Structure 1
Amino acid sequence: MNVVTPKMSSVMFKYFQKALPMRIKSINEYKEPAFFDAMMAVVGPFLTPKIRSRQVLHGRSMVKIYEEIGQEVLPREYLPDEYSGKCAGTTSQIIDEMITSMNEKKFRDYIMDVSGDKYGVDVKIRKQDTTTMDASFRKLNID
């Protein structure tokens, strides 16, 4: 069982906020559990103000999600029939298919493989970057 230590948390926050190779425009949480507000109260101060401002909690309201990101962004083929006509089947059919596929041996073997200690980074042998950048590339003035 992996335990999240303060050092590991620090590395994860640095990766998420500074090294993740994608631009995060918003983080939309839907049907978040009751303890999520308490967890965000603890984790929030470690996030940059930019990331914190881009996090949106929707509770259980699909209307809020559609107002935030728009229904046209969600692919029709993945939406249950209850949301936009005949597409992927009813919600209960989709859940049953997912449970069936998750109980297959092939899926379980895959999850056991990727969640083991087989993959990872040994931070101790990683080359440390000793140079620091004082400006971003956007601010460089080139003659």
Structure 2
Amino acid sequence: MARTHCPEFFQNRSPVLYADEILGVLLYAPLPKPTRLGYQILLGKLIDCNPDKYVLSQQIKTFDMSSILMLHQFGCAPGHVLLIDMKGVTFTHMTKINPIQLKKFFVYLQEGMPIRLKAMYFINIPSFMDKLLALIKPLMKKELLETMQLFTDKLDDLYKIIPQECFPSDYGGTAESISELIRRRNENFKVNDKFFVDGEKEISDESKRVGKPKDASAIFGVEGTFKKLDID
């Protein structure tokens, strides 16, 4: 049902037709080596730091596309880790966040997304991180909130959790560089254009639902509170 009622996330996903939006602003890409526990790592960061080009719905779309393709190509894993590099993120980026879209995303992430999220690690934390946390914490269940850890630009403590060799060379690791990750991600997305376009058809037909069809307002609420989201 999330795919039906969140077209801003789940439609127009062709990396060929929408290359600038999907490939030009943000990178989400799996790192080649897992953690010691076998968790697959998905790195996320800005490619273009111009806040005028930042759109939250496009970030969510790119994140979901990267995650789903990772599952398709890597298969199941004991768990997944999000490594979010906030270098280049400004307060202007935060002011462009759409609260309703943010709420939709956290419902999808916690109730419907088919990844086993074990941890969220944020690095290069900006000075306004407390304001961002104030915005997202009310949307997070206790279990998700407990997976989140913040790190400064010094990664020594994070290396104790994720082996240093797992990191791209830009972070002092031995894995391929960020520029190479971007190149490979772009190529991989474009080769799998049909995979993404076909996925747009995977939506529910609310006209066939037994009982009253559900619309977005019934699921997410117009006052800003969520009701339970049923994921088909």
Match of 1:11 among 104, 109, 134: 104
For residue 6 of structure 1, report the CA deviation from its aligned partner.
Answer: 3.8
Cα offsets for 1:83-121 (capped at 9, x unmatched): 46xx468xxxx467679x5xxxx88xx6xx9xxxxx968
Match of 1:59 among 147, 152, 168: 152
Match of residue 24 from structure 1: 117
Cα offsets for 1:31-89 (capped at 9, x unmatched): 1222222101121111001111110001122111012x2316x43xx6429846xx468
Where in structure 1 do 4 or more consecutive aligned residues deviate above 3 Å?
1-7, 81-84, 94-99, 123-130
Q: 1:82 to 1:98 in 2, by over 3 A?
A: closer
Q: Normalising by the residue count of structure 2, what TM-score does the alignment of the two structures yield? A: 0.35
Q: Normalising by the residue count of structure 1, what TM-score does the alignment of the two structures yield? A: 0.52
Match of residue 139 from structure 1: none
2:121–2:150 CA contact under 8 A, matched in 1: yes
Match of 2:163 among 71, 75, 79: 71
Q: Which has the higher strand share?
A: 2
* Bigger Rg, which one: 1
- Corresponding residue SS for 1:25: strand
Q: Which has the higher helix share?
A: 1
CA distance in 1, matches of 2:100, 2:170: 45
- Corresponding residue SS for 1:26: strand
Match of residue 80 from structure 1: 169
Report matched runs for 1:1-143 at 5 Å.
5-67=98-160, 69-71=161-163, 74-75=165-166, 79-80=168-169, 83=172, 87=174, 94=177, 126=206
Q: How many residues are aligned here?
A: 114
Q: Give structure 2 stretches of 5+ with no counterpart.
A: 1-20, 22-54, 58-97, 194-198, 212-232
Cα-Cα RMSD: 4.4
Q: Give structure 1 stretches of 5+ with no counterpart.
A: 114-118, 131-143
